[in-house]
Amino acid sequence: MNLDELNDKQKEAVLYNEGPLLIIAGAGAGKTKTLTTKIAFLIEEKNVSPRNILAITFTNKAAKEMKDRLFRTIGSTAKELQVSTFHSFGLKLLRENYETLGYDKNFVIMDSDDSLTVVKKIIKDMGLDPKIYNPRGIRNKISGCKNEMTSPEEYERYAVSDYEKVVQEVYSKYNTKLERNNSVDFDDLLLLPIELFKKNPDILNKYQDLYQYILIDEYQDTNEAQYILTKMLSVKNRKITCVGDDSQSIYSFRGANYKNILNFEKDYKDAKTILLEQNYRSTSNILDAANQVIKNNKMRKDKNLWTSRGTGEKIKYYRAYNERDEAQYVIRKIKELINRNIEYKDIAVLYRTNAQSRVLEEEMLKENLPYRVIGSFYFYSRKEIKDLIAYLRLIHNSRDNVSLLRVINTPKRGIGLKTIENLTKKADLENISIYEAISSGKELEFKNLIERLKEVSQDLTLTELIDKVLDASGMKQELESEKTLEAEVRLENLEEFKSITKSFEEREGLISLEDFLLEISLISDVEEYKDDPNRISLMTVHSVKGLEFDHVFVVGMEEGIFPHMNSLMENSEVEEERRLCYVAITRAKDDLHLVNARRRTLFGKEQINPVSRFIGEINKDLIETNVKDELPQKEEKLNTGEMFREENVDYQVGDYVYHETFGTGRVTEVTNTLVTVAFKHPHGIKKLMKNHKKLSKV
């Protein structure tokens, strides 16, 4: 096998197969290439059966990319490989061992909206005020407990406050309802395999023997459950390779624990560590800036990214007057790039919070610049799509109470809340599903509808079944009769869903409703990144991980914005913000702009924030800037009076004044702090602060 395309460190990582291996792969260092080459090497040179290799990634997109690369390298042999996300792998284990865990074959995977619905119902049944006991907050707490391997019984031990005691009770009832509905949630896809292995050592031993070589990508993003599952599977053969970059660990809010990668050498005493430091993406100026920022973190693996691409352009730092000026600077520079024949799709604007996109969008609309906001709205979250999927789930598994409650009166068919409440009580009392509890009335008509759809589903393709459901349920008719633009859009979305089923049928050659539902259950919440449209990408820094652009603008580089205000109290949280900044910087290939504003109106309030400490951590020799004085240092405190005079000017009604933006005007009213001035058309009458430096007497 030819390894000439790899650098020395990449080759070393591929060739080492004696025991535990940690690959610290910096941004743009070719980790995916290294990982796939290692898998191919094991199969072609070491004669390892592909069935004995388990490769885990964090997204479906990454898993597909790895599988595609392996197909190109080793051909059809790649079909036998288990390359998947943690959750997909967990699902595979559940499907192979559902009976041992006490589930029926047709168990259902509930998504986050479905589980929230269950939590809401429990809170209602307990007579609790949802304003005090927020269902989404409690659902997130339950998810956090599951990711940390904390059962309701364990949580009860340290539940002290009234709120925590309520969470514990809801958590316990929630698990009971899931079991009764023959359902699992996303977190269970990790939790239940661990439970399976702990209670059944023989089953664990079987999978340990099967997966002799384990490779984990993005190891810095693993949570407690993923960490334990990995250890359980690898402890026997110890042929485990973990790839990641602690400097890119930015998902602690999802339960990720960057210490897992930092502690790898403690967990595996004989582990070998290899650093991939050669970057193939960015210029050295960009990499030097990233290195200088991240070295300020205490909790990190020491590494230094380098490149053979050359020095490149200096980083541009622009200090805007306000957020409007910030956006206009970005647009000016984008227009300059376009005039140099740069394509829109090669440009990205990154921000710390979603709210920051508003002004950028407004200014881009004014200038007719094509853009897209990545990660803000998702196809599978749209109501009509959720409704359609609920019908399909109910056809597949009539015990799915969540899906039933969603569509029993969708479209409206005269089944009221009282009827549903009585059915639910009956089901709970008799320990049966709501579907089984139905015996009369309009709800029986609904049950008969589902029975008819079940019957015909056996002889229809998935796409034909969708058409049948839309017609028989009345969903299509209801939307068509509305004759509104919104209804038209919803109908288009339903039509688009049929293109998904057609693609599934053509790709897999399957018409199985079960397999289709399992597949779409695993689709990520993050909007799929589409390369087709030639548009500027606007997105949060969290959304950009794994992507790269020729030209990158990072806006809002201010204390309280980036790093975020909520992080400033804890050093560990500031370090995560710094890792986030490192990710932002290393997305840029050729050109990086760091931008901030002296004043900013955000969340309806005007803020005057110091310059981000991350700007001060970059050597000024790497930067060109509009700031005339020396670049800010880490501990800089912004002079909030830089746009204001220390003393109030004594204005009188009738005085002539000059304003840098509005020109010459005449004072019409004076108060203690404000002056009203009549300016010439088109500016008109303005109320201004008396001591602002832009305003002066003529």
Q: Can you tell me the distance from the alpha carbon of 329 to that of 323, in angstroms, rounded to the nearest whole number? A: 10
**Is 248 an active-site residue?**
yes
**Amino acid letter, residue 293:** V
Q: Which residue in 320, 250, 336, 346 sits closest to 588, CA to CA?
A: 346
Sign of CA dihedral 626, 629, 632, 637: negative
**Amino acid letter, residue 151:** S
Q: Can you tell me the distance from the alpha carbon of 134 to that of 557, in angstroms, rounded to the nearest whole number? A: 33
Asked if residue 411 has a cis previous peptide bond (ω within 30° of 0), the answer is: yes
Asked if residue 20 has a cis previous peptide bond (ω within 30° of 0), the answer is: no
Q: Can you say whether residue 444 is alpha, beta or left, with left for phi > 0 and alpha for psi between -120 and 50 degrees? A: alpha
Q: Is residue 642 exposed (0-12), middle (13-18) or buried (19+ Cβ within 10 Å)?
A: exposed
Q: Which residue in 163, 306, 318, 297 sits closest to 579, CA to CA?
A: 297
What distances in angstroms separate CA 117 from CA 114, 174, 447, one per listed residue?
5, 10, 21
Asked if residue 682 has a cis previous peptide bond (ω within 30° of 0), the answer is: yes
Q: Report CA 173 to chain centroid distance, whole Å.
A: 29
Q: Are 138 and 172 in contact (CB under 8 A)?
A: no
**Is 31 an active-site residue?**
yes
Which residue stretches of 318-474 are H helix? 323-339, 357-366, 383-396, 401-407, 417-430, 434-437, 441-457, 462-473
Q: Which residue in 333, 364, 362 sits closest to 601, CA to CA?
A: 362
Which residue stretches of 150-216 are H helix? 152-157, 162-180, 188-199, 201-210
Q: Which residue in 141, 147, 195, 146 sits closest to 170, CA to CA?
A: 141
Q: Which residue in 206, 203, 213 sits closest to 237, CA to CA?
A: 213
Q: Is residue 123 exposed (0-12), middle (13-18) or buried (19+ Cβ within 10 Å)?
A: buried
What distances in angstroms separate CA 586 from CA 26, 243, 283, 555, one per listed residue?
9, 18, 10, 15
Q: Given the structure tokens 């595609």, which residue do they identify?
A: 68
34, 220, 230, 248: the catalytic one is: 248
Q: Hey, which bits of 97-180 come out as E strands?
A: 108-110
Q: Is residue 5 exposed (0-12), middle (13-18) or buried (19+ Cβ within 10 Å)?
A: exposed
114, 185, 217, 577: the catalytic one is: 217
Tokens of 310: 């050359």
Q: Which residue in 223, 153, 147 sits closest to 186, CA to CA?
A: 147
114, 218, 246, 575: the catalytic one is: 218
**Amino acid letter, residue 572:** S
9, 10, 31, 410: the catalytic one is: 31
Q: Can you tell me the distance from the alpha carbon of 633 to that of 568, in angstroms, rounded to the nearest whole number? A: 17
587, 589, 598, 690: the catalytic one is: 587
How many other β-carbons are positioned within 10 Å of the β-carbon of residue 302? Answer: 7
Q: Can you tell me the distance from the alpha carbon of 580 to that of 563, in angstroms, rounded to the nearest whole number? A: 9
Q: Can you tell me the distance from the alpha carbon of 129 to that of 561, in angstroms, rounded to the nearest whole number? A: 33
Which H/E stretch holds residue 288?
helix 284-294
**Is 32 an active-site residue?**
yes
Catalytic residues: 31-32, 217-218, 248, 587
